[in-house]
Structure 1
Amino acid sequence: MSSGLLNTAPRPLRVLMIEDYEEDALLLQRHLGRSGFRVDALRIETAEALGHALSGDREWDLIIADYTLPGFGAREALELMQQRGIDVPFIIVSGTIDEVSAVNAMRAGAHDYVLKGHLERLIPAIERELHDAEKRRERLRTERELQLLQQRFSATFNQAAVGMAHTTTDGRFVLVNQRLSELLGVPVDRMLALNLKDFILPSERDADKELYAELVEGRRTGYRSERNLMRHDGSVFPAQLTVSLLLHGSVGHDVTESSVLWVVEDISARKAAERETSELMQRLINSERLAAAGRMANTLAHEINNPLEALTNIFYLLDKESLTLAGQELIAIAARELDRVGHITRSTLSFYRKMPGRTLDLQTLLTEVVQLFQSRATQHQIHMDSFYGPGIDQTGYDPALRQVFANLVGNALEAMETSGGRIRIRARIRDGHAVVTVSDTGHGIDGANLQTVFEPFFTTKGERGTGLGLWVTRGIVEEQGGTLQLRSATRGKYRGTIVRITLPAAGVREPAVLVN
């Protein structure tokens, strides 16, 4: 007796019976019911009926078929099921099948066969095949789920906005997504023959050596770093690398393998924004430093102006006294120098507020500057020569330009104090503009500094320089509506520096060109 008889909760069983004798079908249903099944059965006799039964809404748990029916039998039924790809336990129950036919039927796809005179084998066969069928369905479900997961992984991996790759622990690429291929400029299929180290700058390849060793040894699950990566064409871009360790194991095995997941993000835009922020902060700091310097200069100008006024009055009174010619000449020189110092203080005061003042022609301004530095030039064996074209003495400019020319000549002298040389000062009227050039044969300005010499607080003179000279110089020139150009070389025949200042010369007639 089957153990199924003791089951108090009958199990549902949907059975499709291929049987031409209704009595045999009823006996099979009775046998199944007594074995603990609640049978839902349908008997058919033809291939057409089998086709309708297999294509209907009902799902069958089991097919029981007689081996031979008039014009139809188990072999034809199995062929039809295989054509439709149906996997349902198929058991032959027949009173006439011989062993050879049974074996051939099993090879054709039948799961088992039972003789009608020995139905005690039927229930164990059904139990076994139902169990095996459930395992096959579970395996199919698992395979479908794995396929779906693979599809989702593939879609996520290949359509990610950041570069992603799986590598071996020694860095060889195993799997690469499209974004990383684009970032590095190498097709995906060619990437698999390369190593991640091939794209890291040689100077940075060992930067994360200790972190990576801890990752591979399992002492950390991941880390993040910023490195410069090199594309296939040699260009370099900053990237953020997120590195994680992946462990792979097989069910029932102790052996595990590991790989490394790399997430590569191009952070060029972020770095550019950081540089802009840094530059903005530096400009703000410089602005504050300039404001502080201006306030200090303003205070000093006020403090100096009062004693200067007293000295000017004293020299004025001395000039009225009876003095020798030499004394009178010294008083005149001192008065001129005091007047120049007073002009400097007034110019400093006008740094923040424009003060109306007299105008001077370029020739006078340049001559005063040459006289001021002449003795210093002679002392250092530096020859100064000047040339002023027609009309230069008819111009009129703010005396603040004196500071411009003094800064330029002073810089030229400092460039030649240890070697001697020549300073040339030229001024002429051309195309409605006054053009002044100051050139020297000094050591020149290094090309790397040419773009920054006009920035505030930039200096190559160490503690001797404030870094404000050329910045103030250009500011005064631009305030007068002019432009300043600088050219310099540190070697060769034309070593030295040339500064050209172009100023509007409204109302000054350009000298005519004489033609013989």
Structure 2
Amino acid sequence: MSEPLELLLLEDSAFDAELVQECVRASHPAARCTLVRDEAGFVQALATQRFDAVLSDYQLPGFGGDHALAIARARAPQLPFIFVSGVIGEDNAVELLKRGATDYVSKGRLERLPLVLERALREVRERAARDAAEARLREADSLYAHIVESLRDYAVLLLDAEHRITSWNRGAQAMFGFERAEAVGQNAMLLLPEGEDAHEAWRRDLRLAATAQRAATQRWMRRRDGSRLWAEGVLMPLHGEGGAVVGWCSIARDTTAEHLAAQVLREAKEQAEAARREAERASQAKDRFIAMLSHELRAPLSAVSAAVHLLERHASVPATHKDLVPLVRRNVAVETRLIDDLLDISAISAGKLGVKPELVDMHAVLREALTMLAEAIAERGMRVELALAEQPAWVHADPVRMQQVMANLVRNAIKFSEPGGVVHLNTALESGEFVFSCCDQGIGIAPDALERIFTAFEQADRDTARERGGLGLGLAIARHLALAHGGVLLAESAGVGKGARFTLRLPLREGAVPPPPPPSDPAAEPVQAQHARVLMVEDHPGAAMALRMCLEEYGYAVEHAASVAEALQLAQSQAFDIVLTDLGLPDGSGVDIGRALGGRLPVLALSGYGAESDLRSTAAAGFAGHLVKPVDPPQVHAVLQKLLTRPGP
């Protein structure tokens, strides 16, 4: 019975060590692993025990894998040394292989470990067998014959200077099927497949062996019955007196099974790479679909928003119906928020949700969030009690995203409380952290739902989802944003019917110096709206009509184009002060308009395309700004006025 496999495992993580040992036992159940965690244990183990191979992590506290390799090579040069690491990297791996490492396996692909270990052990066995064969070939003829005949798994051939076979062992007979009498005297090309390529490869190996004294061989060869086998071995010149080559020794082993397995593995890798590329294409297609969906949903909402603005200013509505127009406006806001949440959760799942951190006062961000929610708070008759820390709360964060987080928490507190309730908002500066808590007296949360509510599309229970509505995305997005800023977002509740508390913690920027106010633009003569000529490019008829009416009400002179070509033609024939353009147009992109006109007048994007990539695209094309539909007409007017008073491009 063969001795159990003895492995030396250098690993500081108990969990990773157990995983590695389980993978080894899958192919070597009787293997014994000696676990060491540091240099002293590693050196002692090498000095006192015999091992068949070393499995080593690359990064250990105070002891690098490269140092462990150097120690092993100094003490046991032939001992297989395999790195098992999750952080080694391809460049480091190549360098370590040059220094003598046998192989490496990523911790993310431990299923490869048994194959790599077996290959390393096989290489040790093969190397030992080849070295033994080479040494014994130089002994007396009788000893040589005994050794050669004992190598049943290896074909050992001696050739004369003309490459004729002079010695043929039992391993060669078993491997190739030729009897000794059939092979001896024949040229070694008898064993090669037909074709000039095989013959040229053989001649190349002979030249290399003559120069380097040995050549590792890997090639297809031919059996007596015409079938092919893949053989790996070594070819060495035999020297006579004076150093002249008088013959050759070829030792080979049938590795057809291993070669075919490796080929299958390569094909599997190629298929995996093809699948990865296909997944990337699918992801890009999904991104394009989501962007198009956002545009198609936002365009009609933009028309509704503009129409509601006009109705609120001019329509005479009977008292019994006076609440309908504000109802439409609020629902436009709800739908817009749902679209934004869907886009955000899609970006999160793709790892593409970006943040733009800057030094911000979280108290100011909170006040802006409450201003935004003032109408919703008043509508439900809620009271918000605010208790802020005395000192400013400076953090390094994206103010827009933090306002989104706080607004989500307050909105949830309003949504899940009874009308007329109280929401307590508190801030504190504790142990280098900004702490914001939002506490309500609403429906509460069951203990088993406290973590589930932070999962996308999840709510506490189905009844809550039916009664209160929503997609269950706000808290998932809020927690992701908190984590992206190095913070945490936690939920607490004493149970159903007992209210809830949400706590946001972010690292403070202690000692931060408030940023100076932005420099004011050089004085410029304001352009009154009634004198401003606007080229509006919009292909959605309803949105174009409603927005045009709003802009004309403000006093702008508006020319409408529904395509890129029409817009550029109008820009050539008429003078304009500013361009307001959608991006998704029938004959191209509004980005083309920005590139063409942005050098001589401000171009403002007003589009349903509002992803980070869209914002980067318009900025690179020279746009003066980018608004994402739907936008209230007063906001469009304010941005237009700001751009019109800015010094020209």
TM-score by structure 1 length?
0.32
Highest Rg: 1 or 2? Answer: 1
